[in-house]
């Protein structure tokens, strides 16, 4: 691992060494980014990550081929520094009220820096006219990337299977988890498959201009997911449907900002209308491997769910 010296990377006068990475990964400390950086490193790819805190540099100590630069989506000068010498960039932020402007900052700086190809982590059914705020902001950023003239690949994943890990305390304490989704089916996708698609598009060819709608291999209701979790964990797990207002209160109590809690309620309203049950072949098309099913996710994360059980 190599930590970049920021003062050496002024965009105006930087001379980029021949060995300098040409791939930049943002969001590298997050759910998908952690898996993506592991895959790239295992493939022997030399790449750069942009992290916003010096405290996070050590998280990449064990990964070969990684150069770390400190940068913040709210600070365009640091984005410009992170982009020096970059040909392909992976764009990911969390879904906050600032996400749209942060990502538009990045698109502007990427175009200025001469980036050839942006791989953007978007969301299933991104649409400028969607009633779901997350789907609207992703569509705004997708549109800006298209208009920028840079090559693009948009990854539009459905609900993350790993999102259920957020319920592991209530699954451990009560054998229950709660959401406002009714009996609708969702083709949830494993984040390991999303990261594999991101790695393939950042390192391979033929992905320019593609929009990959990333789903798992099946659409399941939440009670069906509960049954599969129960089988893997070896104890009863029940799904409890709750009204949107109750779910919103719980999210706010849990510490979600209002904007985000309201966005999640909009997301779940969209799921509850069975609008996220389509199953695609896009993971297989992009990577050559079939996506993991929910039973595999439940099996592989049993110890994570059971850790929550033993800590209560």
Task: List residues binding ligand NAP (CB under 6 A).
Answer: 27-33, 52-53, 72-74, 92-95, 102, 121, 123, 134, 157, 159-160, 163
User: Closer CB to ligand NAP, residue 172 or residue 195?
Assistant: 195
Cβ at position 159, least distance to ligand NAP in Å? 4
Least separation in angstroms between CB 196 and ligand NAP? 14
**For ligand NAP, the closer CB: 31 or 302:** 31
CB within 8 A of 239, min separation 6: which ones? Answer: 176, 177, 178, 179, 221, 222, 223, 225, 226
Nearest distance, CB of residue 15 and ligand NAP, angstroms: 26
Q: How far is the CB of 99 from ligand NAP (least distance, A)?
A: 6
CB < 8 Å & 24+ apart, contacts of 4-13: 4/48, 4/67, 4/68, 4/69, 6/69, 6/70, 6/78, 6/81, 9/69, 9/81, 9/84, 10/81, 11/80, 11/81, 11/83, 11/84, 11/113
Looking at the Cβ atoms of 102 and 280, the one nearer to ligand NAP is 102
Q: In what order do the strands lie in the sheet with 47-51?
A: 2-3, 66-70, 47-51, 23-25, 88-91, 117-121, 151-157, 210-214
Residue 53 or 281: which CB sits closer to ligand NAP? Answer: 53
Residue number with CB closer to ligand NAP (218 or 309): 218
As measured in angstroms, the least distance from the Cβ of 56 to ligand NAP is 6
Closest CB 93 distance from ligand NAP, rounded Å: 5
Report the residue number whose CB is nearest to ligand NAP.
Answer: 30
d(CA 67, CA 253): 38
Distance between CA atoms of 267 and 135, rounded to whole angstroms? 9
Question: Which residue's CB is nearer to ligand NAP, number 136 or number 176?
Answer: 136
């Amino acid at each position: 691992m190599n930590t970049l010296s920021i003062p050496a990377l002024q965009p105006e006068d930087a001379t980029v060494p021949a060995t300098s990475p040409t791939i930049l990964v943002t969001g590298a400390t997050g759910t998908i980014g952690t898996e993506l950086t592991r895959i790239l490193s295992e493939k022997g790819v030399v790449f750069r990550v942009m992290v916003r805190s010096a405290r996070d540099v050590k998280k990449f100590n064990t990964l070969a081929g990684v150069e770390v630069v400190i940068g913040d989506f709210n600070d365009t000068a640091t984005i410009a520094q992170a982009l020096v010498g970059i040909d392909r960039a992976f764009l990911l932020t969390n879904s906050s009220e600032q996400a749209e402007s942060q990502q538009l900052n990045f698109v502007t700086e990427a175009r200025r820096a001469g980036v050839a190809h942006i791989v953007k982590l978007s969301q299933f059914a991104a649409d400028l006219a969607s009633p779901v705020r997350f789907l609207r902001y992703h569509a705004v950023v997708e549109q800006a990337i298209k208009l920028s003239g840079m090559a693009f690949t948009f990854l539009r994943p459905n609900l993350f299977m790993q999102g259920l890990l957020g319920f592991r305390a209530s699954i451990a304490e009560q054998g229950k988890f709660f959401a406002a989704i009714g009996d609708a089916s969702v083709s949830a996708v494993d984040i390991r498959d999303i990261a594999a698609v991101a790695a393939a598009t950042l390192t391979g060819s033929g992905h320019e201009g593609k929009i990959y709608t990333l789903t798992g291999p099946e659409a399941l209701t939440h009670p069906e997911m509960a049954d599969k979790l129960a089988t893997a964990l070896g104890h009863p797990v029940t799904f409890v449907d709750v009204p949107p207002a109750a779910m919103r209160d719980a999210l706010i109590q849990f510490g979600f900002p209002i904007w985000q809690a309201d966005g999640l309620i909009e997301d779940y309203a969209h799921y509850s209308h069975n609008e996220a049950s389509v199953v695609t072949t896009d993971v297989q098309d992009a990577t050559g491997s079939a996506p993991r099913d929910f039973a595999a996710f439940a099996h592989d994360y049993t110890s994570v769910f059971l850790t929550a059980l033993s800590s209560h």
